[in-house]
Amino acid sequence: MNLKNKRLYNNPVGVSRFTGLLLITPFIIGFVIFTLYPFISSFINGLAAADGSFSLENYTRLFQDSSVRKAAGVTIRYAAVLVPLKLIVSLLTALLLNLEIKGIGIFRTAFYIPSILGANLSVVIMWQYLFTADGLVNQFLELIGLSPVSWYGEAGTALSIIILLRLWEFGSTMVIFLAALRDIPKDYYDAASIDGCGRIRSFFKITLPLLKNVIFVNLILQTISALQEFNAPYMITGGNPMKETYTIGMLIYEEMFTYWNYGYANAVSWVMFTAIALIVLFMYAVTRKLREDSQ
């Protein structure tokens, strides 16, 4: 092995430059079988028409399909409300939990528990009961003198049941913020306070700029998971009223397993993947300048 190669593959002595490749083989095989293949076959399956012929018909049809449009609108509205709210709530609570006061560990655990249970069906069922006409939420509203709300009856309130569920589970996002906050050296804040910088100002001048990348990571992760929401509307609202909580995730599932429109379901899911990828790229491009400033 010549010197140049040796520097390029800086492995322990006597180890082949293919050892690493061998070790990651499970990932490569898994990627091909469980990500690449589904991605390609999803597109091809999407070409299959109901009569067995192949054409782009499914792909052109879905853009005119009013139920796809409506579901896409619901999904985007849901994500657009949930994601910013969830990021703000998790960042604020992470700031609170980063304070070093007695018993803070107990609160950390308490805030984290709902997200641990996450999509557990028990929690989803519980949530469904909380918002019924005489459920806990309405009983509480009456207790403090407000009038009860018909949560399942209207578009906005039905969607907000699901938004509130996912917002309640802000713990996983919060933990990522908390880890990042702990990495910020205390000296920064000490120096700032000596210079007469108040708490709010040091938040905007020190904390926020240093958290830019973490905020971005959370933004992407939460957007992707919000756009594929399925469990909660499927179990809680069933997509009702008038399909106002019927997400794209539900539409794909029903096209496939209720109506057995195999080709169409694949076409919708493939277009959805492309849309999500474009949204992520768009977010990456838009925030790029913002993230690179003051680094």
- Kindly identify the residues of this chain, within the stretch 175-204, that bind another protein according to CB under 8 A: 175-176, 178-180, 182-183
* 194 CB neighbour count, 10 Å cutoff: 8
Give me 151's structure tokens: 């949560």
CA dist., res. 249 & res. 119, Å (int): 15
Q: Which one of residues 47, 76, 197, 220 is an interface residue with another protein (CB under 8 A)?
A: 220
**Residue 289: CB minimum distance to another protein, A:** 20
Nearer to another protein among residue 114 and residue 189 (C-beta) = 114
Nearer to another protein among residue 122 and residue 295 (C-beta) = 122
Whether the CA torsion 184, 185, 187, 190 is positive or negative: it is positive
Nearest to 161 by CA among 89, 232, 79: 232
Q: Which one of residues 49, 95, 155, 280 is an interface residue with another protein (CB under 8 A)?
A: 280
Contacts (CB under 8 A) with another protein, residues 2-61:
8-13, 15, 17-24, 26-31, 33-35, 37-39, 41-42, 45
Nearer to another protein among residue 4 and residue 195 (C-beta) = 4
Nearer to another protein among residue 188 and residue 273 (C-beta) = 273
Total binding residues toward another protein, as defined by CB under 8 A: 97
Contacts (CB under 8 A) with another protein, residues 63-122:
93, 96, 99, 101, 107-114, 116-122
Nearer to another protein among residue 55 and residue 109 (C-beta) = 109
Give me 113's structure tokens: 């528990």
Residue found by looking up tokens 């997400």 in the block: 247
Site string for another protein, 129-158 (x = CB under 8 A): xx-x-xxx--xx--x---------------
Inter-axis angle of helices 155-168 and 121-130, nearest 10: 130
- Identify whether the C-beta of residue 177 lies closer than 8 Å to the C-beta of residue 218: yes
Q: Is 241 in the site for another protein (CB under 8 A)?
A: no
Q: Which one of residues 241, 276, 283, 291 is an interface residue with another protein (CB under 8 A)?
A: 276
Nearer to another protein among residue 192 and residue 256 (C-beta) = 256
Amino acid code (one letter) for 56: L
**Residue 97: CB minimum distance to another protein, A:** 8
CA dist., res. 289 & res. 295, Å (int): 11
- Identify whether the C-beta of residue 202 lies closer than 8 Å to the C-beta of residue 192: yes
Nearest to 172 by CA among 227, 101, 222: 222
**Residue 53: CB minimum distance to another protein, A:** 18
Q: Which one of residues 98, 157, 202, 231 is an interface residue with another protein (CB under 8 A)?
A: 231
Amino acid code (one letter) for 289: K
Q: What are phi and psi of 88, to 5 degrees?
A: -65, -50
Nearer to another protein among residue 67 and residue 195 (C-beta) = 67
- Identify whether the C-beta of residue 271 lies closer than 8 Å to the C-beta of residue 62: yes
Amino acid code (one letter) for 29: I
**Residue 167: CB minimum distance to another protein, A:** 10
